Amino acid sequence: MRPEEFAKLVIENHVKGRAKPELPEKLTGVEVGRAGAFVSLKTGDGGLRGCIGTILATRDSVIEEILHNAVSSASKDPRFPPVEEHELNDLRYSVDILHPPERVKSLDELDPKVYGIVVSSETGRQALLLPDLEGLDTIEKQVAACMRKAGIALEEKISVQRFKVDRYSREL
């Protein structure tokens, strides 16, 4: 089973009030045991419907990370109401498994198509953006969007980390 197929199964069971599925021993194409992971839900027309994840591993396995974040993306994303059963046939699922973040010394080390970013301020505000997001095709746009997301003013001093992802997504 592929990661996005597992996320779909988890979410469908959750929304329909069924028990969580048994954890598979392995997910197709996933070679890492523990990692941060994001589960993203999009509507048939490509609009975001939910996205929750973790930068670093918080569970015993990446499979448990995906399970927990799949339920959260469907029910706890504060930007959206919980997913309802009538929406399930229209959803598209994507799972991003994160490589460990690394601090950058210069914004020139970024590429919004290749790297996601974590922007942090000295006041403790922080936000993350996954790589290769529509409309964020320059370093400047990616950093500015991440700062807005975190509520960081343009004049504040920031630190930036970059990370790669293994993305699992397809029409289901």
Q: Give the domain CATH number at 39.
A: 3.30.700.20
Residue 171 lies in a domain: no
Domain range holding 157?
102-164
**Residues 111 and 158 reside in one and the same domain:** yes
Residue 156 lies in a domain: yes
**Residues 10 and 87 reside in one and the same domain:** yes
Give the residue-averaged pLDDT of 107-120: 97
Residue 59 lies in a domain: yes
Counted domains in the chain: 2
Burial class (CB in 10 A: 0-12, 13-18, 19+), 132: middle
**Residues 82 and 106 reside in one and the same domain:** no
The model's confidence at residue 170, banded by pLDDT at 50, 70 and 90, is confident
**pLDDT given for residue 172 in this prediction:** 55
Q: At which of 98, 125, 152 does a domain end?
A: 98
pTM of the model: 0.93
Q: What is the pLDDT of residues 75-88, one digit of tens each?
A: 999 999 999 999 99
**Residues 88 and 120 reside in one and the same domain:** no
Which phi and psi angles does 70 have, rounded to 5°? -65, -50
Residue 129's contacts (CB-CB under 8 Å, 6 or more residues apart) are 116, 117, 136, 142, 145, 146, 149
